Amino acid sequence: MTRFVTLEVADAVGTIRLARPPMNALDVAMQDQLREVADEAAAREDVRAVVVYGGEKVFAAGADIKEMQRMGYTDMVARGGALQDAFTAVARIPKPVVAAVTGYALGGGCELALCADIRIAAENAKLGQPEILLGLIPGAGGTQRLARLVGPAKAKELIFTGRMVRADEALRIGLIDQVVPAEEVYQAALDWAGKLAAGPAWALRAAKEAVDRGLETDLDTGLAIERSLFAGLFATEDRTTGMRSFVEEGPGKAKFN
């Protein structure tokens, strides 16, 4: 089987690379490979942070519409869970994840970017959820993750109209977190991931879980999740290393394994 999604590892950073020219259309095979690679990145101890990257020209321009056109209701009932599971596998990688967005991130491409913790985009990037123009709605998490990120009103406006937003607007509404020249996107993402790869892995894992799980529930339950994770970190070497370094050397000098 042709590999459209691969995991490359260097200096504790894993790059999930999409490579299905010309537009990285996310067909069924690519979705399944994305889930496999995300699970691998989650499990590998030599991967401490992750970059999701579609290449210099495009992140991912959406689903494979020709493939989808051949599918009926029962096909999508059978496939819909696997589609969402592929994207959720990326969102649940228990390590910092950054999306390096170049060119188009539309439909499934935008939904994939939403699964990252941070999104760094090129100045020429365009993002959106144009499914409404096909008589559909986002089906890989877009209605849920977009609303949680930019708020329900803005999410509805983008989903209802299907319009694309340029990088400057995406930054303004909180859809992306940083805009850089196109040729600097991947390196900027590697730099961000590399800094966190050198951090306390268990604390970063707990922080991500606390925020993500807390957003899914009420405040009291979220505080209980935070309390449990906070206490659990007192059983880790990360906490021992961090506190010893703070007392002996001052803040910000700890070196974590």
Task: Indicate which residues carry an active-site annotation.
Answer: 111, 131
User: Rounded to whole angstroms, how far apart are CA atoms 98 and 14?
Assistant: 11
User: Rounded to whole angstroms, how far apart are CA atoms 49 and 3?
Assistant: 22
Ramachandran quadrant class, 84 (left: phi over 0; alpha: psi -120 to 50; beta: rest): alpha
Residue 96: cis peptide before it, omega within 30 degrees of 0: no
Amino acid letter, 132: I
Tell me the CA distances in angstroms from 82 to 28, 88, 140, one per residue in order: 9, 10, 9
Enter the tokens of residue 180: 């850089």
User: Rounded to whole angstroms, how far apart are CA atoms 113 and 95?
Assistant: 15
User: How crowded is residue 13: how many other Cβ atoms within 10 Å of its Cβ?
Assistant: 25
